[in-house]
């Protein structure tokens, strides 16, 4: 397996965000993490990527080459598309001396092609649609051929058609790279189109897990409330 979390706990000040969370993800597998806002989903991604340390528990990663697709793309506005996608190859110490400039240009071109984009290297992010910016962020995340890819709300703010395109690329990139992928999402379409397995978080812990088909047919109160977007059920939003 490429990702393994065991008995993870994390608090911020006096708020417990994660408590006793354990799961693993194998190569070529996509795990969706779902739950209401504030349930700890993004904190898990930060822990895996090393941006946040857990208070206790164990993390094992089969590869340290991690790609991250941030919510709302998070491209560098002052850099053109080529500079955005090439950033890791030029700035991360383990890649800095591996490629010539001409080789980097070819790698960037190939990664943009993988996400359905071409001849946009000289453009800046503001010249692209939201969906195209999201695809550029995918190219940036996979430019190092990572074996672990983390997606934080990859379809946030996109229209249904653009969301479908992004979901198709998540599935395609998993196949292309044989990566272990984690998708944090609220969208049922993203779950159905990309996930092999699902874990649902509530109040910092895992309250349900299974496959997309099992979720759709489940009579479990947590899964049923989430799938049907019911206000009534065991889960309460911050707004009540």
| 89-140 per-position pLDDT tens digit | 999 988 988 999 999 999 999 999 988 899 999 999 999 998 899 999 999 9
| Rounded distance between C-alpha atoms, residue 37 and residue 237, angstroms | 7
Question: Are the C-beta atoms of residues 114 and 142 closer than 8 Å to each other?
Answer: yes
Task: Give me the pLDDT at residue 146, please.
Answer: 94
Task: Give me the pLDDT at residue 232, please.
Answer: 87
Task: Give me the pLDDT at residue 240, please.
Answer: 43
Exposed/middle/buried for residue 148 (C-beta within 10 Å: 0-12, 13-18, 19+)? buried
What angle is formed at CA 200 by the lines to CA 228 and CA 35, rounded to 5 degrees?
65
Q: What is the CA radius of gyration of the chain?
A: 18
Exposed/middle/buried for residue 126 (C-beta within 10 Å: 0-12, 13-18, 19+)? exposed
Q: What's the rounded mean pLDDT across residues 184-191?
A: 91
Q: Please write the tens of the pLDDT for every residue from 48-92.
A: 999 999 999 999 999 999 999 988 788 999 999 999 999 999 999
Structure tokens, 88:
């890791």
| Sign of the torsion formed by the C-alpha atoms of 156, 160, 164 and 166 | negative
| Residues listed for the chain | 240
Task: Give me the pLDDT at residue 12, please.
Answer: 92
Domain positions in the chain:
69-145
Provide the pLDDT confidence category of residue 39 given band limits of 50, 70 and 90. Answer: confident
Beta strands 197-202 and 30-34, pairing class: parallel
- In order, the DSSP letters of the chain are --EEEEEEEEEETTEEEEEEEEEEE-TT-EEEEE-STTSSHHHHHHHHHTSS--SEEEEEES-S-EEEE-TT----TTS-HHHHHHHHHHHSTTTTTT--HHHHHHHHHHHHHHTT--S-TTS-GGGS-HHHHHHHHHHHHHTT--SEEEEESTTTT--HHHHHHHHHHHHHHHHHHT-EEEEE-S-HHHHHHH-SEEEEEETTEEEEEE-HHHHHH---HHHHHHHHT-SSSS---TT-
Task: Give me the pLDDT at residue 152, please.
Answer: 93
Question: Are the C-beta atoms of residues 71 and 153 closer than 8 Å to each other?
Answer: yes
Q: What's the rounded mean pLDDT across residues 152-181?
A: 88
Question: Are the C-beta atoms of residues 134 and 73 closer than 8 Å to each other?
Answer: yes
User: How confident is the prediction for the chain on average, in pLDDT?
Assistant: 92
Task: Give me the pLDDT at residue 200, please.
Answer: 96
């Amino acid at each position: 397996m490429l990702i393994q979390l065991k008995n993870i706990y994390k608090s911020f000040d006096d708020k417990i965000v994660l408590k006793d969370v354990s799961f693993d993800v194998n190569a070529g597998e996509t795990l969706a993490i779902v739950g209401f806002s504030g349930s700890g989903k993004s904190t898990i991604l930060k822990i895996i990527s090393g941006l946040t340390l857990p208070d206790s528990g164990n993390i094992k990663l089969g590869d340290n080459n991690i790609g991250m697709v941030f919510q709302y793309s998070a491209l560098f506005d002052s850099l053109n598309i080529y500079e955005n996608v090439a950033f890791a190859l030029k700035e991360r110490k383990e890649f800095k001396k591996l490629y010539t400039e001409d080789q980097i240009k070819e790698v960037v071109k190939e990664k943009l092609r993988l996400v359905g984009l071409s001849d946009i290297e000289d453009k800046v992010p503001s010249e692209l649609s939201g969906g195209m910016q999201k695809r550029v962020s995918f190219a940036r995340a996979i430019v190092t051929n990572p074996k672990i890819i983390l997606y934080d709300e990859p379809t946030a703010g996109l229209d249904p058609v653009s969301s479908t395109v992004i979901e198709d690329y998540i599935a395609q990139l998993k196949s292309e790279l044989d990566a272990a992928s984690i998708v944090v999402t609220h969208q049922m379409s993203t779950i159905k189109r990309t996930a092999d397995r699902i874990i649902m978080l509530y109040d910092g812990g895992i309250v349900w897990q299974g496959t997309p088909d099992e979720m759709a047919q489940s009579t479990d109160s947590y899964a049923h409330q989430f799938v049907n977007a019911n206000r009534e059920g065991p889960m309460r939003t911050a707004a009540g």
